[in-house]
Structure 1
Amino acid sequence: MTGSETPPSFRLAYVPGVTPAKWVRIWHERLPDVPLDLVAVPAAEAAGVLRDRGADAGLVRLPIDRTDLSAIPLYTETTVVVVPKDHLVTAAEEVSAADLADEVVLHPLDDTLGWENPPGRPALERPATTADAIALVAAGVGLLVVPQSLARLHHRRDLTYRPVTDAPASGVALSWREDGTTELVEQFIGIVRGRTVNSTRGRPPTPPQEKKSKRQDAGTAARKPARGTSPRTSTGKPPRNGSPRTPKRGKPRGR
């Protein structure tokens, strides 16, 4: 490598609520010489960052426009409603959208659930971000329905959450440019899919083994004992164990 060459690196974008720590740790174990740089991006901007080559791959929220992007769905999150700890909703283990009909339900501009008809009564204004909406919930202004990871990300001691059984779910996927499927992208795909380090995907094939010549095979066969014969020791005599013993001849006794 010359002084002007840049060492390889991998840039991974991720949206709020997604935790890439486990995959990053495996990356460092398998490719210790290739730095992995994390790029935090808002959910609405993740596709644009990938298209503009601001990252080699990204952990994004579905749905995503796949016109020029590839995507592998990874998991689907539970959707929850965030409420104050003393709210009536906390009396139940889970709720439905109908249970929120009389509540003010905040709908931030960075919403990731893609509601067609959000539940509850709308607030006078839409909060700019999920973080702003969380602050309003803590102030008693309304409730908020989000993926569970976002509720955990913005955790507060005075708030809690309950699953919403019939709300849209939020899927998380690994995405990258279709024309940017590099060897490093393949390596990360293998990691998130749980491939072991010995997997044949993403690593060079094993070179073919040298075949033995017929003369070598013939020599090996000649050294093997014939079937049905007893193996012999280094002296050329059969082993004593399990074989008949020949009586020894002694000197004639004197008369």
Structure 2
Amino acid sequence: MTSSEETPSFRLAYVPGVTPGKWVRIWNERLPDVPLTLVGVSAAEASDALRGREADAGLVRLPIDRTALSAIPLYTETTVVVVPKDHVMATVDEVSAEDLADDIVLHPLDDTLDWEDRPGRPANERPATTADAVELVAAGVGLLVVPQSLARLHHRKDLTYRPVPDAPESRVALSWLEDETTDLVEEFIGIVRGRTVNSTRGRPKPPAQPKSKRADAGAARRKPAAGKATGQSGGRSAGKSGGKSTRAGSGGARAAKRGKPRRRS
């Protein structure tokens, strides 16, 4: 089978915490003949996966190595601190970075937050993953600051989280190889940007069809003249009405004459 005969498909990479379900559903509605395959990758591996053509595009966390890659920021996440439910911070609405100064704040190797001055006290060892760090929080070893979607992804009944307004935020972006901005990549860009199915951006606009003079002339011939039709109708009605009135009047007079009694002399 040649490449021109291959069935088109689209591979979308995504990092933990990102939920592409809505966009995938729209893709399936608009392009039912082009299957979309999801490829899970870690945040650290996302750039290499795209450059290695393991996916056609990816939902990644910024910053990423932009060498040969294009990226469109999509949204920014709230940053939260994950704490045990019986921790004192669970009783407040939000926590500042300064409030974490006396606590051990875990720093997993797959952390995606770009800190200039990391809060709290460091642990003796860095957990390998965010999932491992969450287990340590549940064990009472320390606290964890992460994007809110990761706190939800690794939710446990014995843990909760609170916003940290002055912490760095995580930005999610759509990225792809700059030299491979295919029609399918453009389609997905349109979906994540909220373009409607009838949007003409990126597609050639069909030329306007000129009106046919012959069709216009035919329509004009078929259209009746209003004044002429009205005059003919009015004339016929008036003639009929006048004839009836005349005959009725003549008959009425004759009837009256026939019915007049004769006087006898």
**Displacement after TM superposition at 1:171 (Å):** 0.5
Amino acid across the alignment from 1:17: G
**Displacement after TM superposition at 1:4 (Å):** 8.8
- Measure, in 2, the Cα distance between the counterparts of 1:130 and 1:96: 21
**Displacement after TM superposition at 1:230 (Å):** 3.3
The secondary structure found in structure 2 opposite 1:232 is: helix
- Measure, in 2, the Cα distance between the counterparts of 1:155 and 1:139: 14
TM, length-normalised to structure 2 = 0.86
- Measure, in 2, the Cα distance between the counterparts of 1:183 and 1:3: 16
Structure 1 spans left out of the alignment, 5+ residues? none
TM, length-normalised to structure 1 = 0.89
- Measure, in 2, the Cα distance between the counterparts of 1:239 and 1:81: 89
Please report the RMSD computed on the Cα atoms of aligned residues, expressed in angstroms.
Answer: 2.5
Partner of 2:185: 185
Amino acid across the alignment from 1:140: G
Judge conservation of contact 1:10–1:35 (CA < 8 Å) in 2.
yes
- Measure, in 2, the Cα distance between the counterparts of 1:160 and 1:24: 30
Partner of 2:95: 95
Tell me the number of residue pairs that the alignment of Structure 1 and Structure 2 aligns.
Answer: 248
Cα separation, partners in 2 of 1:89 and 1:54, compared to 1, 3 Å: same
**Displacement after TM superposition at 1:223 (Å):** 3.9
Q: Percent identity of the aligned residues?
A: 73
**Displacement after TM superposition at 1:195 (Å):** 1.1
* Residue 149 (str. 1) matches residue 143 (str. 2): no
Cα separation, partners in 2 of 1:86 and 1:231, compared to 1, 3 Å: farther
Partner of 2:216: 217
- Higher mean C-alpha deviation, range 51-60 or range 192-201: 192-201
Partner of 1:65: 65
State the Cα deviation string for residues 79-100 of structure 1 (Å, max 9, x = none).
Answer: 0000000000011100100000
* Residue 238 (str. 1) matches residue 238 (str. 2): no
Partner of 1:36: 36
**Displacement after TM superposition at 1:194 (Å):** 1.0
Amino acid across the alignment from 2:31: L
Partner of 1:167: 167
Amino acid across the alignment from 2:186: E
State the Cα deviation string for residues 103-130 of structure 1 (Å, max 9, x = none).
Answer: 0000111100011211000111111110
- Measure, in 1, the Cα distance between the counterparts of 2:163 and 2:229: 78
Judge conservation of contact 1:43–1:112 (CA < 8 Å) in 2.
yes
Judge conservation of contact 1:58–1:176 (CA < 8 Å) in 2.
yes
**Displacement after TM superposition at 1:210 (Å):** 4.4
- Measure, in 2, the Cα distance between the counterparts of 1:28 and 1:138: 39
Amino acid across the alignment from 1:44: A
Cα separation, partners in 2 of 1:99 and 1:206, compared to 1, 3 Å: same
Judge conservation of contact 1:230–1:238 (CA < 8 Å) in 2.
no
The secondary structure found in structure 2 opposite 1:117 is: coil
Amino acid across the alignment from 1:248: G
Judge conservation of contact 1:190–1:202 (CA < 8 Å) in 2.
no
Partner of 1:206: 206
- Measure, in 2, the Cα distance between the counterparts of 1:124 and 1:97: 20
Structure 2 spans left out of the alignment, 5+ residues? 258-265
- Measure, in 2, the Cα distance between the counterparts of 1:173 and 1:34: 23
**Displacement after TM superposition at 1:150 (Å):** 0.2
- Higher mean C-alpha deviation, range 149-158 or range 245-254: 245-254
Judge conservation of contact 1:110–1:130 (CA < 8 Å) in 2.
yes
**Displacement after TM superposition at 1:71 (Å):** 1.0
Task: Look at both structures and tell me which one has the larger radius of gyration over its CA atoms.
Answer: 2
Partner of 2:260: none
* Residue 112 (str. 1) matches residue 118 (str. 2): no
